[in-house]
Amino acid sequence: MLSVFSDEHFMKEAYKEALHAFEKNEIPVGAVVVCKNKIIARAHNQTETLNDVTAHAEMIAVTSASNYLGSKYLPECDLYITLEPCVMCAGALFWAQFRRVIYGAADIKRGFSNIEQRILHPKTEIVKGIMAAESEELMHRFFDKLRS
Protein backbone atom coordinates (compact mmCIF):
# COMPACT_ATOMS: atom_id res chain seq x y z
CA MET A 1 0.00 0.00 0.00
CA LEU A 2 1.20 3.52 -0.84
CA SER A 3 1.97 5.70 2.11
CA VAL A 4 -0.12 8.85 1.80
CA PHE A 5 2.92 11.07 1.67
CA SER A 6 5.13 8.98 -0.59
CA ASP A 7 6.54 10.25 -3.89
CA GLU A 8 4.44 7.57 -5.61
CA HIS A 9 1.28 8.93 -4.03
CA PHE A 10 1.86 12.46 -5.31
CA MET A 11 3.11 11.26 -8.68
CA LYS A 12 -0.20 9.41 -9.07
CA GLU A 13 -1.92 12.76 -8.69
CA ALA A 14 0.36 14.29 -11.33
CA TYR A 15 -0.46 11.30 -13.55
CA LYS A 16 -4.19 12.00 -13.15
CA GLU A 17 -3.49 15.48 -14.50
CA ALA A 18 -1.62 13.94 -17.45
CA LEU A 19 -4.73 11.85 -18.14
CA HIS A 20 -6.82 15.03 -18.24
CA ALA A 21 -4.40 16.43 -20.83
CA PHE A 22 -4.65 13.18 -22.83
CA GLU A 23 -8.44 13.43 -22.91
CA LYS A 24 -8.18 16.99 -24.27
CA ASN A 25 -5.77 15.93 -27.02
CA GLU A 26 -2.92 17.72 -25.32
CA ILE A 27 0.51 16.10 -24.99
CA PRO A 28 -0.15 14.22 -21.75
CA VAL A 29 2.00 15.81 -19.06
CA GLY A 30 0.73 16.53 -15.56
CA ALA A 31 2.09 18.24 -12.46
CA VAL A 32 1.26 18.88 -8.83
CA VAL A 33 2.95 21.16 -6.32
CA VAL A 34 3.16 19.84 -2.76
CA CYS A 35 3.85 22.00 0.26
CA LYS A 36 3.97 20.43 3.73
CA ASN A 37 2.35 17.25 2.43
CA LYS A 38 -0.56 19.14 0.88
CA ILE A 39 -1.25 19.57 -2.83
CA ILE A 40 -1.48 23.33 -3.39
CA ALA A 41 -1.52 23.36 -7.20
CA ARG A 42 -2.48 20.95 -9.98
CA ALA A 43 -1.93 21.53 -13.68
CA HIS A 44 -1.65 19.82 -17.04
CA ASN A 45 -0.21 20.80 -20.36
CA GLN A 46 -2.49 23.24 -22.20
CA THR A 47 -0.37 24.38 -25.13
CA GLU A 48 -3.05 23.45 -27.70
CA THR A 49 -6.05 24.70 -25.74
CA LEU A 50 -4.40 28.04 -25.02
CA ASN A 51 -2.42 28.22 -28.26
CA ASP A 52 0.62 29.08 -26.20
CA VAL A 53 3.98 27.33 -26.13
CA THR A 54 4.57 28.57 -22.58
CA ALA A 55 1.50 26.75 -21.19
CA HIS A 56 3.39 23.67 -20.01
CA ALA A 57 2.09 21.92 -16.90
CA GLU A 58 5.06 23.08 -14.79
CA MET A 59 4.67 26.74 -15.78
CA ILE A 60 0.98 26.77 -14.90
CA ALA A 61 1.74 24.90 -11.66
CA VAL A 62 4.39 27.44 -10.61
CA THR A 63 2.09 30.40 -11.27
CA SER A 64 -0.76 28.68 -9.45
CA ALA A 65 1.35 27.70 -6.41
CA SER A 66 2.80 31.21 -6.12
CA ASN A 67 -0.68 32.62 -6.34
CA TYR A 68 -1.90 30.27 -3.60
CA LEU A 69 1.00 31.02 -1.25
CA GLY A 70 1.37 34.70 -2.15
CA SER A 71 5.06 34.07 -2.63
CA LYS A 72 7.31 34.26 -5.66
CA TYR A 73 9.69 31.68 -4.21
CA LEU A 74 8.72 28.13 -3.32
CA PRO A 75 11.63 26.75 -1.28
CA GLU A 76 9.35 24.59 0.88
CA CYS A 77 7.57 23.09 -2.11
CA ASP A 78 8.09 19.97 -4.17
CA LEU A 79 7.09 19.73 -7.82
CA TYR A 80 5.91 16.37 -9.18
CA ILE A 81 5.87 16.12 -12.95
CA THR A 82 5.22 13.06 -15.10
CA LEU A 83 7.88 14.00 -17.68
CA GLU A 84 11.35 15.46 -17.37
CA PRO A 85 11.04 19.28 -17.62
CA CYS A 86 12.20 21.05 -20.78
CA VAL A 87 14.78 23.85 -20.65
CA MET A 88 12.11 26.56 -20.28
CA CYS A 89 10.44 24.78 -17.37
CA ALA A 90 13.75 23.89 -15.71
CA GLY A 91 14.61 27.60 -15.92
CA ALA A 92 11.31 28.46 -14.22
CA LEU A 93 11.94 25.83 -11.51
CA PHE A 94 15.34 27.40 -10.94
CA TRP A 95 13.79 30.81 -10.33
CA ALA A 96 11.10 29.35 -8.04
CA GLN A 97 13.78 27.59 -5.96
CA PHE A 98 11.83 24.38 -5.36
CA ARG A 99 12.97 22.16 -2.51
CA ARG A 100 12.61 19.05 -4.64
CA VAL A 101 11.75 18.28 -8.26
CA ILE A 102 10.45 14.75 -8.82
CA TYR A 103 9.86 13.58 -12.36
CA GLY A 104 8.73 10.39 -14.05
CA ALA A 105 9.76 9.61 -17.60
CA ALA A 106 12.97 10.97 -19.09
CA ASP A 107 12.64 13.24 -22.12
CA ILE A 108 15.53 12.12 -24.25
CA LYS A 109 14.98 14.80 -26.89
CA ARG A 110 13.87 17.93 -25.05
CA GLY A 111 14.63 17.28 -21.38
CA PHE A 112 16.74 19.91 -19.65
CA SER A 113 19.40 17.38 -18.71
CA ASN A 114 20.33 17.06 -22.38
CA ILE A 115 21.58 20.62 -22.18
CA GLU A 116 22.87 20.87 -18.67
CA GLN A 117 22.07 19.36 -15.26
CA ARG A 118 22.87 22.61 -13.50
CA ILE A 119 19.92 24.56 -14.91
CA LEU A 120 18.01 23.73 -11.72
CA HIS A 121 18.74 25.62 -8.52
CA PRO A 122 21.76 24.17 -6.69
CA LYS A 123 19.62 23.68 -3.58
CA THR A 124 16.95 21.70 -5.44
CA GLU A 125 17.03 17.93 -4.94
CA ILE A 126 16.18 15.95 -8.10
CA VAL A 127 14.44 12.56 -8.05
CA LYS A 128 13.69 10.78 -11.30
CA GLY A 129 11.97 7.65 -12.57
CA ILE A 130 8.88 7.65 -10.30
CA MET A 131 6.08 5.99 -12.34
CA ALA A 132 8.24 6.46 -15.42
CA ALA A 133 6.77 3.41 -17.21
CA GLU A 134 3.15 4.58 -16.84
CA SER A 135 3.93 8.13 -17.92
CA GLU A 136 5.96 6.92 -20.88
CA GLU A 137 3.21 4.53 -21.92
CA LEU A 138 0.69 7.39 -21.83
CA MET A 139 2.93 9.50 -24.08
CA HIS A 140 3.29 6.63 -26.55
CA ARG A 141 -0.46 6.09 -26.51
CA PHE A 142 -0.96 9.78 -27.28
CA PHE A 143 1.42 9.83 -30.23
CA ASP A 144 -0.01 6.53 -31.56
CA LYS A 145 -3.48 8.10 -31.43
CA LEU A 146 -2.17 11.21 -33.20
CA ARG A 147 -0.71 9.12 -36.02
CA SER A 148 -3.73 6.84 -36.46
Residue numbers annotated as active site? 58
Out of 19, 63, 99, 100, the residue judged to bind a copy of itself by CB under 8 A: 63
Backbone φ, ψ for residue 108 (5° rounding): -60, -35
Site for a copy of itself in 2-61 (CB under 8 A): 47-48, 51-55, 59
Vertex 126: Cα angle to 122 and 130 (nearest 5): 170
Rounded Cα–Cα distance for residues 19 and 114 (Å): 26
Across the strands, what pairs with 118?
none
Type and span of the H or E element at 50: helix 47-50
Tell whether residue 67 is a contact of a copy of itself (CB under 8 A).
yes
Site for a copy of itself in 69-98 (CB under 8 A): 70-73, 86-92, 94-96
**Contact set with a copy of itself (CB under 8 A):** 47-48, 51-55, 59, 62-63, 66-67, 70-73, 86-92, 94-96, 115-116, 118-119
